[in-house]
Amino acid sequence: MTINYRLFFNNNPATREQLDRVEEITVEQEVDMAWEARIEIPIATDSQGNWTGEDEEFLREFTQVRIEIEIGDGAFVPLIDGSIVEVSDRLSSEPNQSIKTVIVQDDSIRLNREDRVFRFENLLDHEIASQLFREISQIATTEIENPPAPSRSFPSVVVQRGTAMQLLRSLARRQGMHAYVLPGTEPGKSIGCFKTFPTQPDSLPPLILLGAGRNVAEVNPSNNAQRPARVTASTLNIFDKTITQHTSYFGQLDLLGEEQTFAEEGNTATQILYPRDHDGVDLDRAVTAEALRSSYSTEATGSVINDTYSGILTPYRIVSVCGANQRRTGNYLIHKVTHSLTRSFYSQNFTLQRNAQSSGSNVGLANLAESII
């Protein structure tokens, strides 16, 4: 399969000269983190001893950079759209050993530059998220889910010191959601997201470890038995002095498989929420949100086989894994992906997470056979 990539500087396609100067690109994408790209550009001295590329306009701080990649006959997929935040040089006296490294981070950093005191009155969490995303011109559209309205009245004032991104992640966490920024369909038009994790695969091809359709070099699953937790929280009614308490129930969680990852529920940890963790939301929603966050105890790392896997992995999506251990086969959340791209090579290393296991040995074989067919 052919691999093509495109670069944009300040929302304009890179020139042939600019593309020819790029030696290597690495893009790190991770859930609940700003995505980051590292672009390596060889540099040298001219006949007068002056270093090349010292004052390049397209490599200055806060230049908007977008990286897209295409596999085979598929469409171009954006890996990152953001700003140059750091430029560093490695200067060597040895020939062909000097490199300029350009660091790009996604547009969520524009929500994380100004520390201030926020005060919102009579607004729900998703309404606050919409208002904060609209403050950034590079965020052209939003994908915001409306969490269920509280069953009783809560204080209508949100006050928090920090950056807009810190506030967004705080609000998202108590709702069992995630706040992040994705590259949009056009350069310079990112998408502000305030959403829960998906639970079903989309158009991504499955990752197949065994059989004729094998497209991954390895899958390394592990399970952390200390992660799943029962979460409790309590509130005191200041008027009638009654105490309300809620405890999470594993049966209420959205699982990516048929069974829990633990053998006995009594072996799971117990966590008590801090009071501020459930301000503004129902107790049952707050404890369920935190229990869901801790339930992703299965992790699988691996890498795809170059020129074989036709998909482009990105976080916040679901992908199916086939041909692994029977209980490890099934749907996984993509948590982290490292894309490495040179003139002749493209690789994807991934970290997947799951909060469930498949129920029986026939499941893995059936999924494998179906994906091969």
At 26, the amino acid letter reads T
Give the single-character DSSP code of 19: H
Give the global pTM.
0.90
In which residue ranges of the chain is CATH 2.30.300.10 found? Answer: 3-105
CA-only gyration radius of the chain, Å? 23
Which fold would CATH assign to domain 111-195? Phage tail protein beta-alpha-beta fold (3.55.50)
**Which pLDDT score is estimated for 368?**
45
pLDDT tens column, 72-86: 888 999 999 999 999
**Which pLDDT score is estimated for 279?**
66
Q: Which residues contact 5 (CB under 8 A, 6 or more apart)?
A: 25, 67, 68, 69, 70, 341
pLDDT tens column, 272-330: 988 765 667 888 888 999 999 999 999 999 999 988 999 999 999 999 999 877 888 99
| CA nearest neighbour of 321 among 262, 368, 369 | 368
* Residue 163 Ramachandran class (φ > 0 left, ψ -120 to 50 alpha, else beta): beta
**Which pLDDT score is estimated for 277?**
58
**Which pLDDT score is estimated for 122?**
85
**Which pLDDT score is estimated for 188?**
95
Q: Flag whether pLDDT at 215 surpasses 60.
A: yes
Mean pLDDT on 61-77: 94
Q: Flag whether pLDDT at 362 surpasses 60.
A: no
CATH architecture, domain defined by 3-105: Roll (2.30)
> Exposed, middle or buried, 284 (CB in 10 Å: 0-12/13-18/19+)?
middle
SS3 204: coil
- Return d(Cα 86, Cα 59) in angstroms, integer: 10
Mean pLDDT on 260-268: 82
User: Is the CB of residue 167 less than 8 Å from the CB of residue 276?
Assistant: no
Mean of all residue pLDDT scores within the chain: 89
pLDDT tens column, 107-148: 999 999 999 999 998 888 999 999 999 999 999 999 999 987
User: Is the CB of residue 167 less than 8 Å from the CB of residue 179?
Assistant: no
At 365, the amino acid letter reads L
Q: Flag whether pLDDT at 203 surpasses 60.
A: yes
H or E element in which residue 183 lies:
none
**Residue 226 to residues 3, 195, 269: CA-CA distances in angstroms?**
41, 26, 7
**Residue 211 binned pLDDT confidence (cut-offs 50, 70, 90):** confident
> Exposed, middle or buried, 203 (CB in 10 Å: 0-12/13-18/19+)?
exposed
- Return d(Cα 373, Cα 370) in angstroms, integer: 5
| Residue positions counted in the chain | 373
Share of the chain above pLDDT 70, in %: 93
**Which pLDDT score is estimated for 238?**
73
**Residue 365 binned pLDDT confidence (cut-offs 50, 70, 90):** very low
**Which pLDDT score is estimated for 360?**
62
**Residue 152 binned pLDDT confidence (cut-offs 50, 70, 90):** low
Largest CA distance in the chain: 85
Q: Flag whether pLDDT at 361 surpasses 60.
A: no
**Which pLDDT score is estimated for 364?**
43
Share of the chain above pLDDT 90, in %: 63
Q: Flag whether pLDDT at 50 surpasses 60.
A: yes
Q: Which residue has the higher pLDDT, 140 or 58?
A: 140
In which residue ranges of the chain is CATH 3.55.50 found? Answer: 111-195
**Residue 363 binned pLDDT confidence (cut-offs 50, 70, 90):** very low
Q: Flag whether pLDDT at 151 surpasses 80.
A: no
**Which pLDDT score is estimated for 284?**
86
Q: Which residue has the higher pLDDT, 341 or 275?
A: 341
**Which pLDDT score is estimated for 339?**
97
- Return d(Cα 81, Cα 100) in angstroms, integer: 20
**Which pLDDT score is estimated for 370?**
47
